Amino acid sequence: MAKSGSQCLVPEAQDVLARLKQDIAQELGISKKLADLGPSGVTYAEYGKLGGQMVKRLLLMAKGQL
C-alpha cells in the first residue's frame, strides 16, 4: 500500500489537484500561510478543512460527469 502523499496514481491529475488545493486554501484564508510556511504552517484543523473541501469538490465534479 502506498504511503499517503507519496505518489499520484494519475500523474496528469497532479497539477489539477494542486490548483484545487490553492483555490480552496485561498477561500479558507490560509493560502498565504501555506505559501510562506508550507504544510507545517497551518493547524491540523485548517488542513482538515482543506482536505475535506477538496474531497467534497472532487465528489461533486465526479457526480457531474456521471
Could you read off the pLDDT of 6-33 as tens digits, one per residue?
A: 577 888 888 989 999 999 999 999 999 9
Q: Does residue 2 lie in a domain region?
A: no
Q: Does residue 4 lie in a domain region?
A: no
pLDDT for residue 6: 59
Q: Does residue 43 lie in a domain region?
A: yes
Q: Does residue 42 lie in a domain region?
A: yes
Tell me if residue 18 falls in helix, strand or coil. helix
Q: Does residue 1 lie in a domain region?
A: no
Q: Does residue 5 lie in a domain region?
A: no
Could you read off the pLDDT of 28-55 as tens digits, one per residue?
A: 999 999 889 988 889 999 999 999 999 9
pLDDT for residue 5: 55
Closest by Cα among 1, 4, 11, 2 to 39: 4
Q: Does residue 45 lie in a domain region?
A: yes
Q: Does residue 28 lie in a domain region?
A: yes
Could you read off the pLDDT of 54-65 as tens digits, one per residue?
A: 999 999 999 988
- Range(s) of the domain holding residue 17: 11-65
Number of structural domains in the chain: 1
